[in-house]
Structure 1
Amino acid sequence: MTTAFCLVSALFAAGCSKNEPLRIGYVGTLTGRHADLGTAGRDGAIFAVEDINRRGGIKGRPVELVIRDDRDDPETAKGAVRKLAREGVAAIVGPMTSTMAVAAVPVVNDSHVVMVGPTITSNDLSGKDDNFLRVYPTSHATARHLAHHARRRGIGKIAVLYDLSNRAHTEGWYRHFREEFEREGGRVVAALPFDSSRPVGFLALARQALAARPDGVFLLSGGLDAAMLCQQLRKLGVALPVIATEWSATDELILHGGSAVEGITYYQYYDRSDGSPRFAEFREAFSRRFGTPPEFGAVYAYDATQVVLQGLAAAASPSKLKEAILARGRFSGIQGEFTIDRFGDADRKPILMTVTEDGFKKME
């Protein structure tokens, strides 16, 4: 049993001061090219912690969120998790990208701290009985939906551009999409990797993609890079249907892409146009707190933090947190119910979205 685990167990014990804060960690990319997602996740986690503290905390104890920046670097992510474990956090929310999660999960397993990922899709982490749980489905199921959608749009030949800076997300996504797309009779005519952590020639990439004469383009990247690629496609005077993943669907996409990103379609599990009373209340309160509406990363981080908090409220001690979460299995998220199976993998119903001049819109 590690020192950190003993510390957490001790803090949870009945002999602890009722006012002793219960600490949970958050790890996400707060600096660098993908900071939009990490910052959104941080705000969602903060909002959940502030909400539980307004309600009296957990078993009469306030909750403290300890925030760490992984800097979009695997070694930094590992170090952040180790430090949080040494500091005795009861659980960790994060990371926000699959590459950071793949790096961090072995450290989490060694530390005996439960980690709940808000937006992790990598299939490399699925079907495993370990200390990593998630509130977001794997890429395999979503890739199947997107491949079918691409064929329905009349795309027979497609060029795929994917960012290796988040390799654990993009390579698995591309592999599953290609399998389903080809099963439907389509063909990948160009597969072009790039690394956004280094200088990228977006115009050259766009030219390479178009040289293969595709019927459509599939972008596996963050919002900023997807915007840059669409801008270059527009400069080359080509109007092809573009599909993407939810990773691209941040405000950075619209801010930097403008009219060039209009018409992009993608599947996600977050509905910005949700008119339900619960989400309307959440959106209004979140906007007042942070000065901006919640992006999908904030919603999923809020859900992930709630899973941790509800598990800690039900568990007799941190050593039983994972069992408490899995025993419950079904959770009520900000936008409907989702389930977590015995391996910690989540299931939700996907939504087809598009980008219009008014922003992100639901298609079906």
Structure 2
Amino acid sequence: MKKTYTILLAALILLSTAMFYINFKTPIKIALIGNLEEEKYNFSTSSIITARIAEKEINEKQGIKGRSTQLIIKDDNFKDPQETIKFLKKNNIEAIISTSNSEEILRLKPYLDENKIVCFSVGATSSELSEKDDYIYSMFPNDEKEVKTLIDYLNNNNLPKDIVIISTETNKNYKDSIGRSIKKFGGNVAFEESWTNDPIKYIPNNIEGMKGKTILILSPARDTAIILQKLDNHGLNNIFGLSWSGDENLISYGGKTVQNFRFISPVNFAQSEGKYAELTDKLKAYGKSNGMLPAGVYKACYILKEAYTKERDKHITLKEAIDRTDKFDVLDSNIVFSKYGDHGGNEYIFTVNNGKFTKLGGTEGESSKN
């Protein structure tokens, strides 16, 4: 009997050792998911290239506690969330980074929560995702925080709080969320104009009504540049955008028409040195620009690296590792998540001056994890 126990014990030790070895050699699979093909062909930024740069850097430095990372790319707008989850499970994905917008993330959210899959959102800013105990971590501020920064700037500079919203019809939730936030912080939505699918088809319907008001364009930087061209030569100079309106695509596609355009952003585009500048140089080698999406994706990769390290050291879940970290120091800035995974940190106000971003001001201090 004693001999039998000894054999069983030896077998268990061998099995445990084998399982540890297999787990140690198995790469940590992270999925980058979103409308990646659209970005690839229509924008000067590239989330895919940025994620590959981060993957290469991490693996060249012995990965995460000796395990390599493997990036899985999937173009997906979550029209069928169940199929997305099947894909994640089939490929043993441990976490995802998504560039999808708010409406798309809201479709996927229940399935992420049910399957306990951590998601870093680099594209969704709807307040509907805020203050929810879920598995989504927002890399950028929600709509309310951005609008508050805008309204504060308008107040401080005696600019009109009567606001005209110009947006695409395809992201109605985002537009409605912004409208509610404007009213919440003392502004007024004078009227709205929109376009469907292609901003080139947008025709301003009420130029006279826009005069004397603040114009807020809700669209990605490339589309914003096109809208600004439509508004050019009409004497409208009080035009703003939120975070998605401001990156290198704005300058690439807008030329002189984007001069003096102002936007809110959590990314400090004024950084001319340090890690942000290093990433900018690496992307230039591929003919791509740095900006909101690439910076957000890069930060998410390194936050996952730090969280996975803590997970392995303390034998806790990935979500617990993220939640227990006060702040992540990534790309020359501190990223703070609230207890609900909402973004905390500074916001900056920029304008375009002679083809460059110039910082006008911003918020002070950082949010805490509470």
Question: Normalised by the size of structure 1, how large is the TM-score?
Answer: 0.84
Map 1:20-99 to 2 at 5 A.
20-32=26-38, 40-70=46-76, 73-75=77-79, 79-99=83-103
Alignment match, 1:179: 184
Q: Quick check: 1:307 aligned with 2:303? A: yes
Alpha carbons 2:47, 2:294 under 8 Å: kept: yes
Deviation of 1:37 after TM superposition, in Å, equals: 6.9
Alpha carbons 2:151, 2:161 under 8 Å: kept: no
Unmatched 5+ stretches in structure 1? 1-9
Alignment match, 1:115: 119
Counterpart Cα distance in 2 of 1:77 and 1:300: 23
Q: Quick check: 1:349 aligned with 2:350? A: no
Amino acid at match of 2:263: Y
Amino acid at match of 2:324: A
Amino acid at match of 1:313: T
Deviation of 1:161 after TM superposition, in Å, equals: 1.1
Amino acid at match of 2:118: V
Alpha carbons 1:27, 1:81 under 8 Å: kept: no
Alignment match, 1:271: 268
| Equivalences, count | 343
Alpha carbons 2:199, 2:226 under 8 Å: kept: no
Deviation of 1:341 after TM superposition, in Å, equals: 1.8
Alignment match, 2:146: 142
Q: 1:33 and 1:95, CA in 2 relative to 1: closer, same or farther beyond 3 A?
A: closer
Partner SS, residue 165 of structure 1:
helix
Q: Which structure's relative contact order is higher, taking Cα pairs within 8 Å and 6+ residues apart?
A: 1
Counterpart Cα distance in 2 of 1:209 and 1:115: 42
Alpha carbons 1:77, 1:100 under 8 Å: kept: no
Alpha carbons 1:93, 1:116 under 8 Å: kept: yes
Q: Quick check: 1:191 aligned with 2:192? A: yes
Counterpart Cα distance in 2 of 1:28 and 1:136: 16
Deviation of 1:304 after TM superposition, in Å, equals: 1.1
CA RMSD of aligned residues (A): 2.8
Alpha carbons 1:164, 1:171 under 8 Å: kept: no
Q: Quick check: 1:240 aligned with 2:237? A: yes
Q: 1:212 and 1:300, CA in 2 relative to 1: closer, same or farther beyond 3 A?
A: closer
Deviation of 1:21 after TM superposition, in Å, equals: 1.9
Alpha carbons 2:122, 2:140 under 8 Å: kept: yes
Question: Normalised by the size of structure 2, how large is the TM-score?
Answer: 0.83
Counterpart Cα distance in 2 of 1:91 and 1:274: 30
Q: Quick check: 1:257 aligned with 2:258? A: no
Partner SS, residue 26 of structure 1:
strand
Counterpart Cα distance in 1 of 2:274 and 2:220: 30
Q: Which is worse superposed, 322-331 or 257-266?
A: 257-266
Map 1:276-355 to 2 at 5 A.
276-288=273-285, 290-316=286-312, 320-355=317-352
Q: 1:78 and 1:329, CA in 2 relative to 1: closer, same or farther beyond 3 A?
A: farther
String of CA shifts for 1:48-82, please: whole Å, max 9, x gaps.
21111010112212111001112xx4406664344
Q: 1:306 and 1:34, CA in 2 relative to 1: closer, same or farther beyond 3 A?
A: same
Deviation of 1:17 after TM superposition, in Å, equals: 5.4
Partner SS, residue 169 of structure 1:
helix
Match of residue 107, structure 2, among 103, 108, 119: 103
Deviation of 1:208 after TM superposition, in Å, equals: 2.7
Alignment match, 2:8: none
Q: Which is worse superposed, 34-43 or 263-272?
A: 34-43
**Higher Cα radius of gyration:** 2
Alignment match, 2:13: none
Counterpart Cα distance in 2 of 1:84 and 1:166: 26
Partner SS, residue 256 of structure 1:
helix
Alignment match, 1:19: 25
Deviation of 1:354 after TM superposition, in Å, equals: 0.7
Deviation of 1:15 after TM superposition, in Å, equals: 4.2
Deviation of 1:112 after TM superposition, in Å, equals: 2.0
Counterpart Cα distance in 2 of 1:192 and 1:97: 20
Q: 1:282 and 1:132, CA in 2 relative to 1: closer, same or farther beyond 3 A?
A: same
Q: Quick check: 1:202 aligned with 2:207? A: no
String of CA shifts for 1:111-133, please: whole Å, max 9, x gaps.
22111112431111111111111
Deviation of 1:307 after TM superposition, in Å, equals: 1.4
Unmatched 5+ stretches in structure 2? 1-15, 362-370
String of CA shifts for 1:125-158, please: whole Å, max 9, x gaps.
1111111112222121121010122342522433
Counterpart Cα distance in 2 of 1:357 and 1:98: 33
Deviation of 1:83 after TM superposition, in Å, equals: 1.0
Counterpart Cα distance in 1 of 2:143 and 2:356: 24
Q: 1:174 and 1:85, CA in 2 relative to 1: closer, same or farther beyond 3 A?
A: farther
Amino acid at match of 1:171: D
Percent of paired sites with the same residue: 20
Alignment match, 1:163: 168
Alignment match, 1:5: none
